[in-house]
Chain A
Amino acid sequence: MSELKINTEERRHSILVVDDSEDVHRLLQARLRQENIDLYSALEGSKALEIAASESPSLILLDLDMPDMDGFEVLRHLKETAATRDIPVIVLSGLHSPADKVVAFDLGAVDYVTKPFDLMELRVRLRSAIRMSDLIEMLGKLAHIDGLTGLWNRAHFDERWAANIAENHRSDRPLCIALFDLDHFKSLNDTYGHPAGDAALQGFAKLIKREIRASDIPCRYGGEEFAIVMPGTTPQDGAIVCERIRQELAAMNWSAHPERKVTVSIGIAGADGAVEISAEQWLADTDKALYRAKKGGRDRVVTTNLSSGQTSEFTKAA
């Protein structure tokens, strides 16, 4: 799963310097050598836009007074483009007038440093802007994380599921989704209390994180329901992963209540390539498979292949 990085100090940052003066590039390379950053250089605005889109630097240091495309124009393009909109931009310019500063801030610059710059001041401003950007990014991710299990939450699921369906329609890549429902969860809560229920949810979340690939998207779907979106995975391969999860959960010992077993019912719907099925219908088909797993006696995996229309089942008896 794509991990949430809370410790921003561990990340290596990069800065794109945009200035038509090679002297400034050489100077910054020498002056920022001791910082833990990679530097990209662009001598003109169009090149800067290319590098910003392809490399997603942590920050852009932008000169304003440049021939052809000036810094204001570059800033406008950066903020109008989805891929570069969130990259913080510090203007580093020899233009000192308040009017230039107002325009730069209005266009989305986060700071404005005038040339010739004081090295100490520039360094702290760079660090401050990068720290702020990291925090904003982290808050954005936290808004998509389920607090109890650490998995992605429903909002994130909705977003990524729609994107993966679009990708399936476009690229003909396989796609698979699994819905999980912990069996008799209400009875677990009623018998052992909510802390035991929470421990089961957390334990299950840990198990699925361990079993899936980095490209899979594990989510807490709601209550005791979980989902894993598996891009590039056929329903057959998805079923193998889910069956392993089912078996491992059933074999798990719960230290506080060793006499109690927790099991899960799993419904899968997937396709070997592009299928013209909407996100909602695909999810409804997955829900049907899950319903069949429940109805069939729980603790089992029911898989529907949307490409062939075939349904198959793994159970503890199989």
Chain B
Amino acid sequence: MNPPNYESPLRSEFSDDPDMSELVTEYVGSMPQRLNSILSAYERCHREQLIRIVHQLKGSGGGYGFPQLTAAADKLEQRLLSLNDQEISMAGPELEGLIAVCNRMAA
């Protein structure tokens, strides 16, 4: 059995939906900027801001056809909610999981 290819592009479940294709393209195109905001908040230990961005990704990911994004954002959000501002670096593995999903997303 071949191991899963984590680098393969992650296509939206709605990539063939004409109502959604433009929106999905925009959504995927906005990911680098969102990742920058996430990393910036993480590095500055702005926990509340980080939770807000991640919470929004959790709420929207599945709607745009990326349930994996919702799942990864949910894991990170739960982890952040269990930590205080000083412990934010302990959420590193969950953050990496979210970044990996974002980097694979494709319209």
Contacts and interface: CB of A to CB of B under 8 A. Distances in A.
Interface of A: 19-21, 23-24, 26-27, 30-31, 33, 63, 65, 67, 94, 115-117
14 contacts: A20-B52, A21-B60, A23-B56, A23-B60, A23-B64, A26-B23, A30-B19, A31-B63, A94-B55, A94-B59, A115-B58, A115-B60, A115-B63, A116-B70
Given A23-B64, A27-B64, A67-B52, A115 B19 contact: no
Contacts of A19: 59
In this complex, the member of B52, B58, B60 whose beta carbon has the largest number of chain A beta carbons within 10 angstroms is: B60
Nearest to A29: B23
A49 B30 CA distance: 30
Contacts of A23: 27, 56, 59-60, 63-64
Given A27-B64, A94-B58, A33 B52 contact: no
Nearest to B19: A30
Given A23-B64, A27-B64, A116 B59 contact: yes
Given A23-B27, A30-B20, A30-B23, A117 B56 contact: no
User: By DSSP majority rule, is chain A's interface helix, strand, loop, or mixed?
Assistant: loop
Chain B interface mostly = helix
Contacts of A65: 55
Q: How large is the interface on B (under 10, 10 to 19, 20 to 34, 35 or more residues)?
A: 10 to 19
A24 B52 contact: no
B74 to A, nearest CB: 8
B62 A116 contact: yes
Contacts of B62: 115-117
Contact of B56 (A21, A31, A33): A21
